[in-house]
Amino acid sequence: MATVAEALADLSVGRRLKVLPLEELYTSGHRTCQGCESALVMRYMAKVAGPRTVVTGTTGCMYVANTSYNSTPWVVPWAHTQLGAAGSSALGTAAGLEALMRKGKIPREKINVIAFCSDGGGGDMGLSGISAAMQDTRYNLLILLYDNESYANTDIQASGMTPWGAVTSFTPSGTKKKISQHRWKKNVPALLMAGHPQGRYFASASSGFGMDLMEKVRIALDVGGPTFVQTHDPCPKGWDFDPRRSHELAILAVECGITVLWDFLEGELRYQGVTRQLVEGALKRRPVAEYLQIQGRFAHFGDEEIDYFQSQIDEMWEQWLLPGVLPATAIPQELELGTAAGRGRSEDV
């Protein structure tokens, strides 16, 4: 096993992650649920970030279940921040460290600043603050959004990232209204990527693919500037399934084409792993029913609802210009994707 320093030295941009540090920087001391994938994501994140890291975390599962007073899983410095404050806590932390280093009040060194948030804190309330952080190229910071698709520690309420049709305490299935969650899931990494051209790195990952996720976190920290990584994390409590199937579900979501593994670095959009095989046609998508039927939150689905869900995923894969990223299904004819034709400066015409 490599030491932390040796292992992290090997994790620079463009190199595959081959060795991992032995040390855990997110360890015992939390009381997350059995089968909690987000706790695993925290562990992955801290492991590849290394000890010269400062972490802030918004209110949510990874606050309430992680850090009860007199007990903490964090070996790296960690501070709570408010539900909508992932972006602003990262900015404040990074700006404070930068000012102190520039003025010689603390030694100059690279300190990773990571703020994590949930789908509710990041995708709903904190979106504006994260957007501001993605614009501020003066600072190195990573926002990690762990997406467990509901306000899971509050009592399982729907967030803007809860899948269509899912039962939550705010979107029950009733005798008159079968589907209350009528909103299709918000695509946060894509909207952040498209809207912040000077952001340095954006990625969509999954708790089911740990190596891919750790590579993405590491790339984000290595390239510096404002970066964003989202992970898709099955939640036994919120989604109502047997905790032993957490990891299996995360993988299944990718195999069904519901979760899409991609990243965007220096102008290049890339698909990874199973997603890449789907894109290249080396693998066929599995029917979404396989994923939906394991979960109690979709137990009210009949054929009609399953078919609708499948049709939306099919449309994304078959019609979108970039599955999981760009919902446009056509572009103006004079624009040829991948070339500069028709997009030159006026004096070139």
Partner 1 sequence: MTTIEKPVSTPGPAGGGPGYQEEILTGCDAVAQSLRLLDVDVLAGYPIRPYDAVMATVAKMIANGEMDAEFIIADSEHSQFEIGKHASLVGARSFIGSSGVGWMYGMEALVVTSSLRLPVVALVGNRALDDPGAFGVEHNDALMVRDTGWLLYWVETAQEALDMTLMAYRVAEDHRVMLPCALSMDGAFLTHSQHVVQVPGKAAVERFVPQYDLGDRRLHPDNPISVAPQFNEDWVMEARRQSDAAMRRVPGVIEEAAAEFKEVFGRGPEDPFVEAYMMQDAEYALVGMGTVGMVGKVAVDQMRAQGKKVGFLRVKWFRPFPASRLRSLLGGLKGIGVIDRDYSFGSNAWGGVLYTEVAAALYASGSRPVVVPFIAGLGGREVSVQNMVEIQGVVEQHIASQPAEVDCHWIGVREHVGKGGER
> Which residues contact residue 318 at a Cβ distance below 8 angstroms, ignoring those fewer than 6 apart?
none
Q: Using alpha carbons, select from 247, 278, 125, 147 the residue that is nearest to residue 205.
A: 147
Q: Which DSSP letter does residue 142 get? A: E
Residues in the chain: 349
Minimum gap (Å) between residue 104 Cβ and partner 1: 11
Of the two residues 64 and 289, which places its CB atom closer to partner 1 in the complex?
64
Of the two residues 89 and 204, which places its CB atom closer to partner 1 in the complex?
89
H/E stretch holding 42 reads: helix 37-49
Q: Which residue has the tokens 């399934």?
A: 241
Instruction: Identify the bridge partners of residue 322 per DSSP, sorted by sequence position.
Output: 326
Minimum gap (Å) between residue 74 Cβ and partner 1: 5
- Report d(CA 175, CA 158) in Å as an integer: 19
Task: State the DSSP string of 297-326.
Answer: GGTT--HHHHHHHHHHHHHHHHTSSBTTTB
Of the two residues 90 and 316, which places its CB atom closer to partner 1 in the complex?
90
Alpha helices (H) in 81-209, listed in sequence order: 86-102, 127-135, 188-195
Minimum gap (Å) between residue 203 Cβ and partner 1: 22
Minimum gap (Å) between residue 28 Cβ and partner 1: 14
Q: Is 3 helix (H, G, I), strand (E, B) or coil?
A: coil
- Report d(CA 278, CA 255) in Å as an integer: 8
Minimum gap (Å) between residue 236 Cβ and partner 1: 21
Q: How far is CA 94 from CA 27, 64, 76, 152, 281, in A?
A: 25, 24, 16, 29, 42
Minimum gap (Å) between residue 77 Cβ and partner 1: 4
Q: Which residues sit at the interface with partner 1, rule CB under 8 A?
A: 51-54, 56, 63-64, 67-72, 74-82, 84-85, 87-93, 95-100, 102-103, 105-106, 111, 128-129, 131-132, 136, 138
Of the two residues 65 and 249, which places its CB atom closer to partner 1 in the complex?
65
Of the two residues 79 and 340, which places its CB atom closer to partner 1 in the complex?
79
Residue 326: count other Cβ atoms within 10 Å of its Cβ: 16
Of the two residues 66 and 148, which places its CB atom closer to partner 1 in the complex?
66
- Report d(CA 342, CA 346) in Å as an integer: 10
Of the two residues 68 and 293, which places its CB atom closer to partner 1 in the complex?
68
Minimum gap (Å) between residue 143 Cβ and partner 1: 13
Q: Which DSSP letter does residue 296 get? A: G
Minimum gap (Å) between residue 151 Cβ and partner 1: 16
- The one-letter amino acid at 260: V
Of the two residues 67 and 187, which places its CB atom closer to partner 1 in the complex?
67
